[in-house]
Amino acid sequence: MTEPRPKHRPIRSFVLRTGRMTPGQEKAFAQYWPTYGVDFNPGETLDFSTLFGNERPMWVEIGFGDGESLATMARDFPQRNYLGIEVHTPGVGRLLLTLAEQEIGNVRIMSADAMEILQQAIAPGSLAGVQLFFPDPWHKKKHHKRRIVQPRFVELMARLLQAGGIFHAATDWEDYARHMLRQFSAYPEFFENLSESNDFVPQPDTRPTTKFERRGQRLGHGVWDLMFKRTANPVSD
């Protein structure tokens, strides 16, 4: 009798860095996670209307870092609901504190693998927008397979975004920007590039400039924004 083959471990687009939380961040987890946190239960689809108590358009941000830009957008666009996904626990703790201190009610947080959440917990056609700001570029060629934006990711966006929904990405690595541009441009039946030149768009007013980005700009780093709109063509299962 042959031994069963071990299952291949999925390729992760992130390295789990839990980091050390400050006492305030640890307190935020204990005190505010029941209000803003959403536990990931594999195979259980999120009910956004129940989660937020309304039917506002639903936006997801993948990898919100310390939550600075997400909190700003939530304040600027109270007519939207936001689900932020982040595995870095100090960043989650910081955003929990910000949401509580500023009494921001239109954000919920999940701390798990974004791909697993997107694949298992979000209903098709339920999202008005998905944001991916400054993901890990995995700049070495041998690590490109770890980049989150791959054909299966684009196909997943096509399934989850409603007609007219927006995918918005930003990166300070031009090579990764062009990689993402190629990936989404390969699906013209599902996505329309909102760039007038069919490549990148100027930074829209809807995306706040973060401290990380401002520091890079002072060092002369460029930033590339991409925005693609979901067309009305359905995705066949």
- Report the C-alpha gap between 80 and 131 in whole angstroms: 13
Confidence of residue 225 (pLDDT cuts 50, 70, 90): very high
Q: What mean pLDDT do residues 69-90 have?
A: 96
pLDDT at 139: 58
- Report the C-alpha gap between 191 and 33 in whole angstroms: 36
Task: Give pTM, 2 decimals.
Answer: 0.88
pLDDT at 24: 75
pLDDT at 19: 60
Question: 216 vs 55, 90, 102, 180, CA distance in Å?
Answer: 38, 22, 27, 20
Which of 236, 206, 210 has its CA nearest to residue 221? 210
Q: What are the catalytic residues?
A: 136
pLDDT digits (tens, 9 = 90+) for 88-128: 999 999 999 999 999 999 999 999 999 999 999 999 999 99
pLDDT at 100: 96
pLDDT at 127: 98
User: Domains (ranges, CATH) in the chain?
Assistant: 23-230 (3.40.50.150)
